[in-house]
Structure 1
Amino acid sequence: MSIPLFRALARDHFLHLLLIIGVALCFFVPFAPARWPGAIDWHTIITLSGLMLLTKGVELSGYFDVLGRRMVRRFHNERRLAMFMVLAAALLSTFLTNDVALFIVVPLTITLKKLCEIPVNRLIIFEALAVNAGSLLTPIGNPQNILLWGRSGLSFPAFIWQMTPLALAMMATLLALCWFCFPNKALNYHSGTHATDWQPRLVWSCLGFYLVFITALELKQELWGLALIAAGFLLLARRVVLSVDWTLLLVFIAMFIDVHLLIQLPALHSVLTSTSQLSPSGLWLAAIGLSQFISNVPATILLLNYVPPDTLLAWAVNVGGFGLLPGSLANLIALRMANDRRIWWRFHLYSLPMLLWAAAVGYGLLLFR
């Protein structure tokens, strides 16, 4: 395992970039490595670890192959299949959170590539955009909404009502874009593919492990939950543990530390202090812009210290999930799972126009509320 892990680390240019940024920031802020572990959201790291194990278990069981074959028989053209996957990603993200939705739809999408000719990278990009658009609707769709909901004092239905205009606009835009980007042509099946022998025992074990892990999360015992399912996979299917992309966790850890260093910059503090004096349009642009560089969850945490958790802030940080890769951690998860270097720059061909459109439409809707 050490050799593949070393190779993965050597190829991970995004991790290298994060490390370079972290080293550079150390020259401008107090150097205190003892504080870095406290800056890491270990709940997120542990939750991601469990989800990666569970998803890899289902993937290696062969069940995604079975499900994919059923889907390609049901959807006979590329556009319908793409529309279904985008809608499924958005719907799942409203109640399972955007990260969990991606752990379900992206591996399934990769399996579909083995069965028929589809532009898998483009579809994964649209799924990443879909979970950002779908998750903004509910208080539990993403981490920033959980924070905003808790601070706002709104009821569950009231929060959904607050977010509905933006969610509808973004989903309508995404579906229209999907309609034009995926042609209405028949799916071309790969004749050489044959049905994979899937392992029902491993699938049912993953379901059982999932229930154990969710229960542990609810009881605030996530570390014990992770230990239990990891031990279960080591006994049942050791290759699951060895096949997980563990370098993704290092990327997230590096991002948390970089953000911790960034927010200590004196210049940033002076800018954030002045946000309470900004006009609505200025705050709108500031929240979106800040999200682009430190991700929308840390941006929400910072801005809640200076501005109220109102509709403008809720819409702005969710719009900030589009655009640049760091805007939402869901973007990073989706592109990493695709395991194709070309997808990294192609993502921005769709996400940056989506950001500009969302910023313009969202602010326009705010003016008419």
Structure 2
Amino acid sequence: MMKAIIDYVKKEVVLCISFVLAFVSMVFVPLDVQYISYIDFHTLTILFCLMLVMAGLRNLGIFSMIGSWMLEKTNNVRSLSIVLVLLCFVFSMLITNDVALITFVPFAIDVLTMASLENYLIPTIVLQTIASNLGSMLTPIGNPQNLYLYSLSGMSMGKFIALMLPYTLVSLIGVLVACVILIDNKAVAVKVQSPRKLTEKGKSKAIVYLLLFFFALASVAHIISVYIVGIVTLIVVFLMDRKMLGKPDYALLLTFVFLFVFIGNMKRIPEIHSWLNSMIHGHELLISVFASQVISNVPAAILLSGFTDNISALIVGTNLGGLGTIIASMASLISFKYYGATEGKRNLAYLGLFTLLNIIFLAVLLLLHYII
């Protein structure tokens, strides 16, 4: 029993820390009716809907099918790796950085291993991880902190994309340059295992999930109430594919709830609220970057948002803050976990290249921020 608890704490460190913070804050601010106002149900609902839809599409193998089709066009290691990296970069904008890595990193490992190209695993997976974290920053649905900050800011989707577009374009150029530098042009015949074909029932499910995805996008664009989308999505998935109800990352949703409670309570303690507000004001971007290195960018976004009105700076800062340490974006741990399960793994070499490239990308994008 104790071992199971310890294993769970190790697996969900951020959740456990957020729970402790919420619990301790309740000592200073006893439970009352104001607690319910802390919770951003809008963000939690749309995040849950997107998790359900992406789980359904991934379970059907839709993304692997697209990846297999694209890989058939490659004839050398560099073009192969570029395709694998760009799949993460582009799809992270729509299916979140976590789902992109869960989908395409195992796919990359299988493809490179079958082609006896294990020496290229580290640079390819590291670049896939960076690409997912950078591509995801362009859209409100690219990662959880974007969805939360976008909802909090009240800005339009067009304004959000315009804010992050310069960073995304420079990131794309950087990722492509890194692929050219790190991966040679060795010729290779890539044989991708044919993905399973969709049955008629599978095609029907895929169409429904895609419709639910666009339905969710409509709520992100403030066209339809998020709660209507939530009810419809829950009912449709329950009736059509109820096993998917167990797939969303409920630990992440609970982490949000605990952090909302902690922030809400901190704001009700005048001395702490005043101190944090004065410390963060005018330094939102750099503080969010540095905070992300220690607690990751999702908790950093939620914590700092309670003490500043400069949400645009937090959006940029927490997205750039996903670069750096292996925990700066929790999605990065997904890739590391998959690589760590491969035969002949070299974890120190992986972490060394990961850290070096992350620091370079972070420095370039921070420089871009101060230029523009």
TM-score normalised over the length of structure 2 = 0.69
SS in 1 for 2:26: coil
Q: Is the 8 A contact 2:296 2:329 kept in 1?
A: yes
CA distance in 2, matches of 1:155, 1:226: 26
Tell me, yes or no, if structure 1 residue 57 matches structure 2 residue 56.
no
Secondary structure, aligned partner of 1:207: helix
> How far 1:173 moved relative to its partner?
2.5
1:249 deviates by 2.1
1:231 matched residue in structure 2? 239
For 1:44, what is the secondary structure of its paired residue?
A: helix
Q: Give the Cα–Cα distance (whole angstroms) in 1 for the partners of residues 93 and 214 of structure 2.
A: 20
1:21 aligns with 2:17: yes
Q: Structure 1 residues 96 and 309, CA, compared in 2 at 3 Å: closer, same or farther?
A: farther
Deviation string, structure 1 residues 184-206 (Cα, Å, up to 9, x no partner):
2233657xx87566343254133
CA spacing shift, 1:47–1:363, aligned 2, 3 Å: closer
Paired residues of 1:68 and 1:115 also in contact (CA < 8 A): no
**Aligned pairs for 1:62-81 within 5 A:** 64=64, 70-81=69-80
* Stretch of structure 1 that moved more, 348-357 or 18-27: 18-27
Query: Per the alignment, do residues 230 and 115 of structure 1 end up closer, same or farther by CA in structure 2, a change over 3 Å counting?
Result: farther
Aligned: 1:47 with 2:50: yes
Alignment partners' CA distance in 2, 1:230 and 1:272:
44
What do you get for the CA RMSD once the two structures are aligned? Answer: 4.6
**In percent, how many aligned pairs have the same letter?**
25
Counterpart code for 2:11:
L
Shift, 1:130, TM fit: 1.0
> 1:96 deviation in Å?
5.4
Distance in 1 of aligned mates of 2:348 and 2:31: 33
Instruction: Show CA shifts across 1:33-70 (max 9, x none).
Output: 996995883542343133213211227xxx83x65554
- Cα distance in 1 for partners of 2:21, 2:240 equals 41
Task: Give the distance between the partners of 1:269 and 1:345, measured in 2 at CA.
Answer: 41
Distance in 1 (alpha carbons) for counterparts of 2:136 and 2:165? 11
- Structure 1 residue runs without a partner (length 5+): 1-6, 235-240
Q: Which amino acid aligns with 2:52?
A: S
Q: How does 1:1-369 map to 2 (within 5 A)?
A: 14-15=10-11, 17-18=13-14, 21=17, 25=21, 28-30=24-26, 41-58=44-61, 64=64, 70-94=69-93, 97-99=96-98, 101-102=100-101, 105-106=104-105, 108-109=107-108, 112=111, 115-118=114-117, 119=120, 123-138=124-139, 141-145=142-146, 159-187=160-188, 195=194, 198-214=197-213, 217=216, 218=219, 219=224, 220=226, 221-233=229-241, 241=243, 246=247, 249-253=249-253, 255-256=255-256, 259-260=259-260, 263=263, 269=273, 272-278=276-282, 282-309=283-310, 312-328=313-329, 330-331=331-332, 340=341, 348-369=351-372
The 1:210–1:305 alpha-carbon spacing in structure 2 relative to 1, beyond 3 Å, is same
Aligned equivalents of 1:308, 1:363: Cα separation in 2: 21
Q: Which runs of 5+ in 2 are unaligned?
A: none
Aligned residues between the structures: 346
Question: Where does residue 3 of structure 1 map in the other structure?
Answer: none
In the TM superposition, residue 129 of structure 1 has moved relative to its aligned partner by 1.6
Letter in 2 for 1:44: L
Question: Which amino acid in the other structure matches residue 324 of structure 2?
Answer: G
Q: Any conservation in 2 of the 1:216–1:222 contact (CA below 8 Å)?
A: no
